[in-house]
Structure 1
Amino acid sequence: MGRVETDPWCSSGHLLPSGDLLSTGGNKMGEKAVRLLKKDDPVPKFVDRKDALGSGHWYASNCILEDGGAVIIGGRDSYTYDYIPPSADFESNSKNLPFLEQTTTPAFGPGLHIENNLYPFVYLLPDGNVFIFANDRAISFNPQTGATVKEYPVLEGGSRNYPPSGQSALLPLRLTADNKPVTAEVVVCGGNKPDAFQNVDPRYTQNRVFAPAFYDCNRIIVTADNPAWQKEQDMPSPRTMGDLLQLPNGQFLLINGAKKGTSGWDDAEDPNLTPTVYMPENEMGNRFRELRPTNIPRMYHSSSSVLPDGKILVAGSNCHQFYTYDGPYPTELRVEKFSPHYLDPKFKKDRPVITVGATDKLLKYGQQFKVTFTIASNPKLVDGDVIVTLLHPPFTTHGWSQNQRMLICGIVKFDRNVITAAAPASGKLAPPGYYMLFVSHRNIPSKGVWVQVGP
């Protein structure tokens, strides 16, 4: 890969429409840097650009926009956002976003940071504006001007962003073949009390208290005229620092994290070892299902990713300032693959298999495309038995999957084993780039096929 010249520690990132990876911001000399990794480079290497950004961004979040460019938002002592165009060839720029300063818990003194609003949860909305949730509040804003478009109610109960580190996701966007208006809904789960970090981190206290993380989840329809938070079913166990991953079938997976404490060096205990499926469309009371637990703690600095075969790659966990291999929660270098419930061998005969050569790989906005598949059991299918989903691969770090986005495509025609579906209407729904396409039969997904979506 070659040497990275700038410091990407606790940085952010996203994919360009070309599929190239852009790493943004970081610590110290890396806070204004970007690093480009081209997917077609025969000798992969990061190309660093120092001082490319107009502001420093450490613990920031990226949001891809309708043109394939992205905004890099916030971070420690940063109340601004920068825009990077789709080509990643740009001059430094920066715009103020007062909301970031308004949601920052004041520091106690030089070098002492509480914040509670780092790695804010950000999502591109169907109208092209950006939804941002930080600490316990949310707005949507115009990414061209920075102007606030809508203010949302406070989410009572605690702090949800780093370091209390709850989990959040944009629920799948359900499209129609005739391009009806799309509803966007966001869920926020877990986190901890606003003072949880200062009561456990040794920089603030000698009487450390590992506060229990939250069980609760809350949902809000962000496109509603009068949006309001709705209490969701509680998770089966409390969780901070967990990943909330979008699965190929429209469900989610809660994995990794801890039951007590917060993000930060040595600031959590009681690892949450039990992966849990979240099924937001089920009836209340039947939305969570616990799966087989691991025996490897995955807390601070752990990560996970959904693979095209439907498995989950799980790695990392270093709760300490340096690599530490003794004592509680040693630095973890092992990597695991986790097979979710839908990969149980008993479902093999009912699992769709996409016929790659007879499936469109280039999806144009607003146009129809075809997906060909087979199911070994040859079931008699009725409306709703099969869905076609597009999953944008996220940049997952510190319990936050940036630009994770799923679209359930509108089906135009179903002819035996060939689906004619409608591609998303525009970049406001699906920013241009590479997506994993899946076919799911009664919540059992196929392996994914890489497709490119764009104008």
Structure 2
Amino acid sequence: MMTVRGLSVAQRGRYFIFFCLFSVVLLALSFRGASIAMAAGPEAHIKGEFGPLHNWPIIPIAMMLMPDGRVFAYGTNPSGVQGAKMYFAIWDPSMGTGIDAFDVLPNTTETDIFCAGQAHIPGTGEALIIGGDGRVNNIRNYAVNDVNIFDPSTDTLVRQTQSMAFKRWYATAVTLPNGEHIVLGGRNDRLFKGSKTAPATEATYSSTPEVRATDGNWRTLTSATSDYAYGALGASSWFYPRAWVNPQGDLFILAHNGNMYNLNTSGDGVLSKYTNKIQASKASLSSVMFAPGKILTIRKDRKAIVVDLNNPVKPIVSGAGFLAKDRLYGTATVLANGHVWVNGGSSTGNDLAGAALDTELWNPVTNTWKATASAATARLYHSASLLLPDGTVITGGGGAAGPLTQLNGEIYYPPYLFKTDGSGELAPRPDINDAPATPISWDQQFSIEASESIARVTLVRVGAATHAFNQETRFFDLPFLAEGNIVTVQSPASPNLAPPGHYLLFVWNASGVPSTARFIQIG
């Protein structure tokens, strides 16, 4: 059965009873999932297909893909109630979706990592977790300045001795080209602007960014304080600020109100505002980097926009069509082929009235959207989606609070996994027989060996998704030369384009079907 480690005898007993009740159902679903994937509908090669709904031991509000292929998730207790002070979970996709694939682990840090910020640590592949939820007089949703690290080699979450200068709740952490992390945004105090219990003058936000060095020490960017870019103003810009490293090595910030900023993180920091801006969005709408220096962002009224950061003077903005419906609290996920899949959300907010079960796929080559498969259940506030090494997407969670307490997930099988003859059968996949097991550098050639001739090589940075945002993921079409089944590949040119860390390497056959990815480390 599912492993529950570090818990008392009484707690183990409660888990045993709970999961025994579901064991027969879950086992049946896991076998049924394989049959559905093997014999999906006749449009599976066009729309993709969902596997069966399966249970999770917590609501996976936040999910991170670790370099061993497992998913680190956290957000609630096993009843789906807000709070991650006692528990977190690990899912091993290679074991399927039955109860044996999950571990519930004890959080002994005394930090409630509910709605914390997260990023991967280059080199070690550990998870950096910053901030989280705090209680004052037994009232939730204050903030903490705690820093924790999850180590997948020991499955432990460890509180760090060096804390941040500022308390942060709903903050963003971004991996920088030198392996450091910048942290920005987040709320400092529960008495936020607009609160019925306090005037706006009592609102406090963490409007000064800070940087964590690779040795764990912190420095504040005292010259880059801004309420508008990632603080109290600018349409809740403190709420998981949308930020990415740009091709020039600085941080690009896309505010929810449409303003755009450049942050140079050296020294005390230099923040500058671009003269152009785009249509306003909301904190509940998704944005994702789908190509080097290019961001697809979903704005109000179903409008999608591409922001190209490759121009060093200012971002170049272009239209990317319209989604079929508004998707507040939905998530955009870059797939293994560089297309962007958007699932979940609701046109009416965190409720079921406008909930979208159908999903949509954007093709960056044709700049067009198409309807894709429909899910079994709604994914609203506190849901997340994450690309897996086999090219599928796990989408799960929602609730705490919400109309549904979603202690469950579904796996989406994209169109590229199916035969194109309408049979609904999974297509034969190439295999990667050999790939670099040691770190590679930038602008470097390396060789991979496949089971057949290869027509394409793609690279996707491992993801870290929460609250409609995955700031870690990046996609690359890699140039290569093939001699039979041996492929010589060129890595991304610089850490500005591909920050150091772990990536999923896919090879594709002539039929447009990807391999299961190999993890490679850059930097």
Contact 1:365 1:423 in 2 (8 A): yes
Which residue of structure 2 lines up, in the alignment, with residue 296 of structure 1?
Answer: 377
Runs of 4+ residues deviating >6 angstroms: 347-350
Contact 2:357 2:377 in 1 (8 A): yes
Contact 1:12 1:395 in 2 (8 A): no
Percent sequence identity is: 23
Please state whether the residue corresponding to 1:364 is helix, strand or coil: coil
Which residue of structure 1 lines up, in the alignment, with residue 163 of structure 2?
Answer: 52
Amino acid at match of 1:82: E
Listed one character per residue, the Cα deviations across residues 206-236 of structure 1 (whole Å, up to 9, x for unaligned) are xxxxxxxx21101122222353422221112
Q: 1:104, 1:92 → 2: CA distance?
A: 18
Say if 2:159 is the partner of 1:159.
no
Which residue of structure 2 lines up, in the alignment, with residue 249 of structure 1?
Answer: 337
Which residue of structure 1 lines up, in the alignment, with residue 125 of structure 2?
Answer: 19
Aligned CA distance change for structure 1 residues 297 and 106 (closer, same or farther; 3 Å): same
Contact 2:149 2:159 in 1 (8 A): yes
Contact 1:301 1:316 in 2 (8 A): yes
Listed one character per residue, the Cα deviations across residues 380-416 of structure 1 (whole Å, up to 9, x for unaligned) are x7xxxx22122111210010012111222222x2212
Contact 1:81 1:96 in 2 (8 A): no
Say if 2:106 is the partner of 1:2.
yes
Q: 1:445, 1:75 → 2: CA distance?
A: 38
Q: 1:5, 1:319 → 2: CA distance?
A: 20
Which residue of structure 2 lines up, in the alignment, with residue 119 of structure 1?
Answer: 240
Say if 2:446 is the partner of 1:369.
yes
Amino acid at match of 1:143: T
Shift of 1:320: 2.3
Q: Normalising by structure 1, report the TM-score.
A: 0.78
Listed one character per residue, the Cα deviations across residues 330-382 of structure 1 (whole Å, up to 9, x for unaligned) are 211122222111222458796542333x322332222210122234xx7xx7x
Q: 1:90 aligns with which of 205, 212, 217?
A: 217
Q: 1:371, 1:256 → 2: CA distance?
A: 36
Which residue of structure 1 lines up, in the alignment, with residue 28 of structure 2?
Answer: none
Which residue of structure 2 lines up, in the alignment, with residue 189 of structure 1?
Answer: 298
Listed one character per residue, the Cα deviations across residues 137-165 of structure 1 (whole Å, up to 9, x for unaligned) are 11111112421356151213x333x2xx1
Aligned CA distance change for structure 1 residues 106 and 74 (closer, same or farther; 3 Å): closer
Please state whether the residue corresponding to 2:110 is helix, strand or coil: coil
Q: 1:349, 1:217 → 2: CA distance?
A: 31
Shift of 1:439: 1.2
Contact 1:55 1:94 in 2 (8 A): no
Say if 2:499 is the partner of 1:422.
no
Shift of 1:34: 1.1
Say if 2:250 is the partner of 1:129.
yes
Which residue of structure 2 lines up, in the alignment, with residue 446 of structure 1?
Answer: 515
Matches within 5 A, 1:48-87: 48-49=159-160, 52-76=163-187, 77-87=205-215
Shift of 1:73: 0.9
Contact 1:414 1:420 in 2 (8 A): yes
Which residue of structure 1 lines up, in the alignment, with residue 288 of structure 2?
Answer: 169
Which residue of structure 1 lines up, in the alignment, with residue 60 of structure 2?
Answer: none
Aligned CA distance change for structure 1 residues 106 and 245 (closer, same or farther; 3 Å): closer
Contact 2:162 2:217 in 1 (8 A): no
Which residue of structure 2 lines up, in the alignment, with residue 178 of structure 1?
Answer: none
Shift of 1:254: 0.5
Say if 2:504 is the partner of 1:436.
yes
Listed one character per residue, the Cα deviations across residues 420-440 of structure 1 (whole Å, up to 9, x for unaligned) are 011223322222221111113
Say if 2:147 is the partner of 1:34.
yes
Which residue of structure 2 lines up, in the alignment, with residue 318 of structure 1?
Answer: 399
Aligned CA distance change for structure 1 residues 268 and 95 (closer, same or farther; 3 Å): farther
Which residue of structure 1 lines up, in the alignment, with residue 363 of structure 2?
Answer: 279
Q: 1:148 aligns with which of 252, 259, 271?
A: 271
Aligned CA distance change for structure 1 residues 96 and 394 (closer, same or farther; 3 Å): farther
Q: 1:124, 1:253 → 2: CA distance?
A: 22
Greater helix fraction, Structure 1 or Structure 2: 2
Amino acid at match of 2:270: A
Gaps of 5+ in 2: 1-104, 136-142, 188-204
Contact 1:248 1:389 in 2 (8 A): yes
Q: 1:149, 1:98 → 2: CA distance?
A: 11
Listed one character per residue, the Cα deviations across residues 157-188 of structure 1 (whole Å, up to 9, x for unaligned) are x333x2xx111111222xxxxxxxxxx22221
Which residue of structure 1 lines up, in the alignment, with residue 76 of structure 2?
Answer: none
Contact 1:352 1:373 in 2 (8 A): no
- Pick 1 or 2: higher relative contact order, CA cutoff 8 A, min separation 6: 2
Q: 1:95, 1:440 → 2: CA distance?
A: 47
Gaps of 5+ in 1: 108-113, 174-183, 193-213, 322-328
Please state whether the residue corresponding to 1:425 is helix, strand or coil: coil
Say if 2:474 is the partner of 1:405.
yes
Q: 1:401, 1:244 → 2: CA distance?
A: 8
Q: 1:418, 1:402 → 2: CA distance?
A: 33
Please state whether the residue corresponding to 1:309 is helix, strand or coil: coil
Please state whether the residue corresponding to 2:416 is helix, strand or coil: helix
Aligned CA distance change for structure 1 residues 267 and 337 (closer, same or farther; 3 Å): closer
Amino acid at match of 2:317: W
Q: 1:99, 1:221 → 2: CA distance?
A: 24
Q: Normalising by structure 2, report the TM-score.
A: 0.68
Q: RMSD of aligned C-alpha atoms?
A: 2.5
Aligned CA distance change for structure 1 residues 149 and 445 (closer, same or farther; 3 Å): farther
Aligned CA distance change for structure 1 residues 227 and 335 (closer, same or farther; 3 Å): closer
Which residue of structure 2 lines up, in the alignment, with residue 101 of structure 1?
Answer: 228
Shift of 1:99: 3.9
Which residue of structure 1 lines up, in the alignment, with residue 102 of structure 2?
Answer: none
Aligned CA distance change for structure 1 residues 361 and 288 (closer, same or farther; 3 Å): farther
Please state whether the residue corresponding to 1:259 is helix, strand or coil: coil
